[in-house]
């Protein structure tokens, strides 16, 4: 027990007053002993002063070393991407394509790229000779005993646009039906004889002429009339 407590107890007081003083002395002694046994409070840390030559002292601050390393790595990656983009834009293939493709002029539509097509050879069209009426001079010969038969046949030829240059008796008698003859090798006469056969159903042929007409050097077409002709 401390000195103050002992002094309070030694006071000769009787009764209730003495007991109250004793309790108060004991309470004071306990409080005093409690203050002595309590650990001293830590002084608050003074705020760090900033200034040249002094670093900020904070326990929760992130160290600057790793942060600067991350920033440097990001800068290197960005620089690499920029260099790669510039190289791909100005590469040799891009320059070649740009040189081949003309740039459109402002205000004009871009030219349309049309794929090349293989040229298809045009088939040659054979020249066709127009088909039309072909006429040639005609000589009519009578190979029968019917008088005037050659003249009657010649009149019908003339009525249909044919030129009859003469009529006479036939030098041949072995012709079975009325036949038209043309000079061999004369294609015009051959075409005219074919049209004469188409026009008159009683005429057969055409046949290349194998005989001469007496007294006529150029008789043209020669029609030998026989008994089958019906004027």
* β-pairing verdict for 221-225 and 204-208: unpaired
The architecture of the domain spanning 138-225 is 2-Layer Sandwich (3.30)
Q: CA–CA separation, 188 vs 195, rounded Å? A: 11
Q: In the prediction, which pLDDT does 6 show?
A: 47
The predicted model gives 181-187 an average pLDDT of: 95
| Mean of pLDDT over the chain | 74
Q: Is the peptide bond before 206 cis (omega within 30 degrees of 0)?
A: yes
Select the highest-mean-pLDDT range: 34-43, 127-136, 162-171: 162-171
CA 94, 99, 105, 106: dihedral to nearest 10 degrees?
Answer: 20
pLDDT tens digits, 197-217: 999 989 999 999 999 999 888
Q: In the prediction, which pLDDT does 93 show?
A: 58
Q: Where in the chain is the domain with CATH 3.30.70?
A: 138-225
């Amino acid at each position: 027990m401390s000195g103050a407590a002992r002094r309070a107890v030694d006071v000769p007081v009787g009764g209730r007053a003495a007991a109250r003083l004793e309790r108060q002395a004991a309470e004071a002694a306990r409080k005093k002993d409690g203050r002595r046994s309590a650990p001293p409070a830590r002084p608050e840390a003074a705020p760090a002063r900033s200034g040249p030559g002094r670093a900020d002292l904070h326990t929760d601050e992130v160290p600057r070393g790793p942060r600067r390393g991350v920033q440097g790595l990001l800068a290197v990656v960005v620089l690499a991407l920029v260099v790669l983009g510039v190289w791909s834009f100005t590469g040799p293939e891009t320059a070649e394509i740009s040189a081949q493709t003309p740039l459109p002029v402002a205000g004009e539509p871009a030219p349309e790229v049309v794929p090349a097509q293989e040229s298809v050879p045009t088939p040659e069209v054979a020249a066709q000779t127009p088909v039309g009426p072909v006429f040639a001079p005609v000589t009519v010969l009578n190979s029968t005993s019917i008088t005037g038969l050659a003249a009657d046949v010649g009149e019908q030829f003339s009525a249909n646009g044919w030129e009859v240059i003469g009529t006479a008796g036939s030098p041949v008698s072995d012709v079975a039906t009325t036949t038209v003859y043309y000079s061999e090798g004369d294609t015009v006469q051959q075409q005219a004889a074919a049209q004469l056969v188409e026009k008159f159903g009683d005429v057969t042929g055409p046949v290349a002429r194998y005989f001469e007409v007496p007294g006529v050097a150029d008789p043209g077409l020669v029609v030998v009339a026989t008994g089958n002709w019906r004027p």
